[in-house]
Structure 1
Amino acid sequence: MTDAIVAGAALLLSLPVATFRSGFPTQPTVAQTWIAVVLVILACGALMFRRTRPLLVFAACVLPSIALPPSLVPATHLLPAFALYAVAVYRSARACWIAFGVAAVAVALATATAALGSPSELSLLVTTLVSGLVAMLFGALIGINVGNRRRYLEALIDRSRQLLVERDQQARLGAAAERTRIAREMHDIVSHNLTVIVALAEGATATSDPERARAVTGQIAGTARGALTEMRAMLGVLRDPELSPDAPLAPIESASVADAVESAQRAGFPVVLHVEGRLDDVPAEVRFAVARIVQESLTNAMRHAPLATTIDVRIAVRADAVELGIVNDGVRPRTDAADPPGRAGFGLPGLRERAAHVGGTLEVGPADGRRWTVRASLPLPAHASAEAHPEEHGP
């Protein structure tokens, strides 16, 4: 509708001028007048496509200024201005100035050619040329102003859409990371405690001593209560809106290397713990990671190496890192039938995530064909290293 109104306005403003008697000594013939009317109508019709084909429409609007006799050129002055405005708005300011320059040169050459044929009409030709160029210049300046503002608003809208997409992507990534974090904590709590409970329950079933069975069931109850306590603590963190999103899901104190080793020993597994240095002086976050890595490593040993005769846990607090080594000798030959593809659990990825969370590294795999090793190195901040090893830093 807008394009039709613009084309109609251009036709009403241009068509009557083609029929007026101009001040040129040489007046147009009737045929030339009709040709001018047809060209003006066609150029106005071309303005209907100024949004999609602005450069082609501009060429169609400039053509009458070059092809018609000088006395009929004033009828075509407004058409290039309308078309050049469209070039500036729907293409670019650069395209507008290039189109203006090309049209100005073409119209100037046509005027110079007409002046050579009629030197007496030079002043009228120059006036007609200047008025046409001024009309195009006004169209270009207005179009550039409107076009720049239009492109600026489009850029703002595109940026807003991009920010919305990025916000949604960040929200999805954050939700996925949070789900992974919750799954890791749930796995550490549930898997370890259930493994211990299963081992204790099997031991209680196998023994014929009522007193020993009663003691084992008490240990099962204690292990289950500890797991419930950890679960309640984690749910409390998840439901607390005032806590930071990065707050630990489980209390730091809930994970202890000694507790993990003691649970495995109560379940009947030959776990031996060796600690070098003062683990209590290690930052709480690193200490929590150490406890979880040991806990998950023992859980994997209890599940996958029930015939192990030794499970050796070694922790060394160095000047710049905490070194962990968990080794068991219960490795069994693995076959595709025993371990089909796609049945890998979440324990090993959780161990690597736990180590990476504090900037450490972790290596897992068989050694010597008979042992399974878990080795981790968790870096310590400088001030923590000084506290854990004061003798290395002087009095």
Structure 2
Amino acid sequence: MTRTRSRSTSVREDEALRLPRTPGVLRRFWARHPVFADVLIALVCLLLSLVPAGVITNDLPTPLAIGVAILVPASVVAACATLLWRRRRPLLPFVASFALEAGFLFALQPIGSPLLLVTCYSLAVYRSSRVAWIGFGIGLASLAAFGGLLTLTGVITFQIAANAVIMSLVLGLIGTLIGVNVGGRKRYLDAVIDRSRQLLVERDQQAQLAAAGERARIAREMHDIVSHSLTVIVALSEGAAATSDPDQARAAATASAETARSALTEMRAMLGVLRADDSPLPLAPLAPTPPQETVAHAQRAGYPVTLSVSGGTDLSPAVAHAVGRIVQEGVTNAMRHAPGATSIAVRLIYSADIVTVEIVNDGAAGPRGTSGFGLRGLAERAAHAGGSVVSEPLEGGRWMLRAELPTAPPDPTPTALAAPDPKDRP
């Protein structure tokens, strides 16, 4: 199935590629008006071929002479008319030109037509060099065999046959050599332009993928910041409204304000990546909240959160960022979905190669969640750091969030992200 493109689409692509103009006024004119060029070439070949057709011999037997006198001019017109298809079906005028040369063998003197020059050129340009050489060899051999047959039967002389074959050899060789040169250059330029268009499309696709990845990263960061901070603020505000002790209410309000300021600072840093103008804001998010600070915020809000750390090792910034966000999201989910929990245990286990994060609470209830972005973002974050996240219920009404991450992130090679776990429950 042939694909067609509108001229406007081609122009837009050429403008995007910044292609130079075709040199020469005439070449640009022929390129823009191919039909007119083919008609003009066909008319010129017709005029130059009809003149030799008028010298067909009259010494042949009368029936043969009449038939040849009628068929040769008609063959000239038909052969020249096939030039209108020389770009789409170059083999058709090529065969017609050799058939016309075979008809010219009946002339009293060696004659020829420029049609063979044009068709050999067209076959090399619009098909391939290999097809052009093979076709030229077969056509010339067929013409020589037909001329030899006419010579042996006494219809024409050997000189006429030899001159016709030599003239066809010269014209066809010139047309084929020029066509091979022009066609090879044309195909090379087409390949370069097609490759450039492909690179242009790939560049746009890479830009879209990068933008989508950055949007996903910003969405994860904003979710972690807003979800955790608002959960803590809501808990502190409810505690301040429920207590009658002014000191406790003041302490809860102060902690709520501090949490809000911290969230605003992180949001300002996160929104800095969206600014187009010069700005002193950083182009990357601030360092994530340490697990100790996340646990402290939850404890100030009145939740029974504990933290235990086993071992110790240096983590890369990417892994440290992931650990902080996983603890933040796990504690936030426990605060939201397990308000009656009597224990929310956060455990960090460091080894030489793996850091394990476990968050277990004993207040989970209800079916697993099927929506939400928290655990989905954690799965993407863990996969980016080369680790994995599991969220599942345990015996005794407990729920566990467990993440295992390498202490150093993997090499930045294209890998598929792990499929996010749809369960958005603590």
Range into which the TM-score falls when normalised by the shorter chain? 0.7 to 0.9
CA distance in 2, matches of 1:377, 1:109: 82
1:302/1:326 CA distance change after superposition, 3 Å = same
Partners of 1:42 and 1:120 lie apart in 2 by: 24
Aligned with residue 257 of structure 1, among 274, 291, 303? 291
Q: Percent identity?
A: 49
Query: Of the candidates 336, 352, 357, which is equivalent to residue 324 of structure 1?
Result: 357
- What is the number of equivalent residue pairs in this alignment? 370
Residue equivalent to 2:179: 143
Moved more, 319-328 or 13-22: 13-22
SS of structure 2 residue aligned to 1:71: coil
Quote the offset at 1:369 in angstroms. Answer: 5.7
Q: Deviations over 1:230-268 (max 9, x none)?
A: 12222335548899xxx973222x421111000111111
Cα distance in 1 for residues equivalent to 2:366 and 2:150: 101
Residue 177 of structure 1 pairs with residue 204 of structure 2: no
1:233 and 1:73, CA in 2 relative to 1: closer, same or farther beyond 3 A? farther
Match of 1:349 among 376, 380, 385: 376
Q: CA deviation at 1:83?
A: 1.4
Structure 1 Cα separation of the partners of residues 104 and 85 of structure 2: 23
**What is the CA–CA distance in structure 2 between the aligned matches of 1:225 and 1:269, rounded to whole Å?**
21
Q: Who is 1:11 aligned against?
A: 46
When residues 75 and 317 of structure 1 are mapped into structure 2, their CA distance, relative to the original with a 3 A threshold, is same
1:290 aligns with one of 323, 335, 346: 323
Residue 52 of structure 1 corresponds to 88
**Match of residue 205, structure 1, among 215, 218, 241:** 241
Per the alignment, residue 254 of structure 2 pairs with 218
Give yes or no for the alignment of 1:86 onto 2:122.
yes
User: Residues 206-244 of structure 1, C-alpha deviation per residue, up to 9 Å, x if partnerless?
Assistant: 22222211211111111111111112222335548899x
SS at match of 1:272: strand
Contact 2:101 2:164 in 1 (8 A): no
Q: How much has 1:158 moved relative to structure 2? A: 1.2
1:311–1:326 Cα contact (<8 Å) kept: yes
> How much has 1:30 moved relative to structure 2?
5.9
Q: Which structure has the highest helix share of the two?
A: 1
Give the RMSD, CA atoms, in angstroms.
Answer: 2.6
TM-score, scaled relative to structure 1: 0.86
Give unmatched runs, 5+ long, in structure 2: 1-35, 410-426
Q: Which residues in structure 2 correspond to 1:1-395 (within 5 Å)?
A: 1-20=36-55, 29=65, 32-71=68-107, 74-118=110-154, 121-239=157-275, 249-252=284-287, 254-278=288-312, 281-334=314-367, 344-368=371-395, 370-381=397-408
Residue equivalent to 1:385: none
**Counterpart residue identity of residue 306, structure 1:** P
CA distance 1:238–1:90, shift in 2 (3 Å) = same
Q: Which runs of 5+ in 1 are unaligned?
A: 383-395
The amino acid of 2:153's aligned partner reads: G
Inter-partner Cα distance in structure 2 for 1:291 and 1:240: 29
* Structure 1 residues 77 and 110: CA distance shift in structure 2, 3 A: farther
**1:282 partner SS:** coil
TM-score, normalization by structure 2: 0.80
> Which residue is 2:31 aligned to?
none
* Structure-1 separation of matches of 2:244 and 2:99: 110
* Whole-angstrom CA distance in 2 between matches of 1:64 and 1:232: 82
Distance 1:120 1:159, change over 3 A: closer
Q: Is the 8 A contact 1:238 1:249 kept in 2?
A: no
